[in-house]
Structures are given as structure tokens and as C-alpha cells.
Amino acid sequence: MRDGIYKTLPLGRGWKSLLKSCERESERIETARRKAQKAATAEVWVELSPRFVRELLRITSNGASLLPGFSGFTDGSSCRDLGGNNSPFEQDVLANAKMLERKGSRGKTIVYEALGKSIENLQQRNIRHIEQHYLQNATGIESKPIIDAARTAILQTDNASIVEQVVKGERPKTQPLKRPIDLDEDITKGN
């Protein structure tokens, strides 16, 4: 397999870093999981405006006292109306929030559930991106362990902590990465 297929991946730096770890067998478990957490957190913070989250929390808190059948959201309200930057992620969060409210959810639980569902959607999209990229640029046999490691790492991220940080308005907290040193590693492979 070519060295560094991750370099041409059309995703952000955090996702490329994750895949670099997935290409190295010694980093496929814990290091990849931490990098997946860091990449997801960073992307959410880039895509999501704090003002949008505050306005969403305000609307859902006010809507908690409404009778069933009444909505806290106005017809046709958009991300820009809520102070957002109208990113695809914000649009997904807003669509999920409106759907949850129609289904009968009330209060801040709408925001928590909508953010959680949108983060899951984001992760699924990125998994598909990674799979497609590696299958186009390497043989299936060579890319399978990398794809599997990336999928496992992404699905093991702690989405609840990301949601909690976003709702509280805290900056992302990630643990520093320590690269394991394998004295028996074969460095002739070119990873």
C-alpha cells in the first residue's frame, strides 16, 4: 500500500491524524480512539456557533411550558434566525430538535438529544468518507485493517462529553496524546 493515503483525504487535519494512527499497527487502539475523540470535538466546535446553542437552549426552555401541539420554534425558523452560521451541522441539529419537539420531547433534553444525534450523523458521514477514500486508493485487503480501526475508534468516542461541553459553552478538553514506543517495531515498512 502507498505510504500516507491519509494525506489526500478530503477531511480536516484531525481526521487525517486519526488515519495516520490507524495506518500504524501499534497506534490502532488507544491512540486512534483519543484522536477520533479530538477530531470529532474539534469539528463540532468549528461547525457550531455558541450563539446558536444558547438560542436553541432558550427556545427549548421556553417551549417546555407549552401545551402539546404547540411549538417553541417559529415556522420556517432557520439556523441564521437563531444566530448560527448556517453550517450543515447546525442545520442537522435544528432539524433534529424540531423533529424531537414534534414527537413530544420538551425542555433541554431536546438540545442534548439533537446534538447527540447530529454528532452520530457526522461520525457516520466521516466513516463513509474514509471507507470510500481508502477503497479508491488501495486494495481492499490492504485497507480493511485501517478502515476497521478507524470505524472502531470513531464509534468509541464519548459523544455525551462532547454534548455536555457544547451545552455548557466550555472549550473542548482533550487529553494530550502520548505516542507509544515499540522497540521491536519494523521501521523498514515506511509508515
Burial 33-48 (b: 16+ CB within 10 A, else e): bbbbbbbbbbbbeebb
When mean pLDDT is compared across 100-109, 132-141, 174-183, the lowest value belongs to: 174-183
Instruction: Please state the domain count of the chain.
Output: 1
Q: Domain for residue 7, yes or no?
A: yes
Q: Domain for residue 111, yes or no?
A: yes
Average pLDDT over residues 103-124: 90
Is residue 190's pLDDT more than 70?
Answer: no
Q: Domain for residue 92, yes or no?
A: yes
**97-101 long-range CB contacts below 8 Å, 24 or more apart?**
97/56, 97/60, 97/73, 98/71, 98/73, 101/60, 101/63, 101/71, 101/72, 101/73
Query: Which of 117, 109, 113, 119 lies closest to 60, judged by CA?
Result: 109
Residue 97's identity, in one-letter code, is A
Q: For the packed helices 159-168 and 50-63, what is the interaxial angle rounded to 10 degrees?
A: 90
Q: Domain for residue 120, yes or no?
A: yes
Q: Domain for residue 178, yes or no?
A: no
Is residue 144's pLDDT more than 80?
Answer: yes
State the alpha helices, DSSP H only, in 12-63: 13-23, 30-47, 50-63
Is residue 119's pLDDT more than 60?
Answer: yes
Average pLDDT over residues 163-191: 70
Q: Domain for residue 23, yes or no?
A: yes
pLDDT tens for 19-77 read 888 888 888 888 999 999 999 999 998 899 999 999 998 888 876 666 566 666 666 78
pLDDT tens for 72-104 read 666 678 888 888 898 999 999 999 988 888 888
Average pLDDT over residues 109-117: 93
Q: Domain for residue 188, yes or no?
A: no
Residue that the C-alpha cell 494530550 belongs to: 176
Q: Domain for residue 152, yes or no?
A: yes
Query: Where residue 177 falls among pLDDT bands split at 50, 70, 90?
Result: low
Query: Where residue 10 falls among pLDDT bands split at 50, 70, 90?
Result: confident
Looking at residue 23, its pLDDT comes to 85
Looking at residue 123, its pLDDT comes to 94
The three grid cell numbers given for residue 141, joined into one nine-digit string: 485487503
User: Pick the residue with more confidence: 149 or 78?
Assistant: 149
Entry field: residues in the chain = 191
Gyration radius of the chain's alpha carbons: 19
Query: Which of 125, 130, 170, 146 lies closest to 24, judged by CA?
Result: 146
The three grid cell numbers given for residue 55, joined into one nine-digit string: 438560542
Looking at residue 74, its pLDDT comes to 67
When mean pLDDT is compared across 90-94, 125-129, 134-138, the lowest value belongs to: 134-138
User: DSSP per residue over 142-181, as a string?
Assistant: HHHHHHHHHHHHHHTS-HHHHHHHHHHTPPP--PPP----
Looking at residue 191, its pLDDT comes to 47
Give the structural domain span for 3. 1-66+74-172
- The pLDDT mean for the chain works out to 83
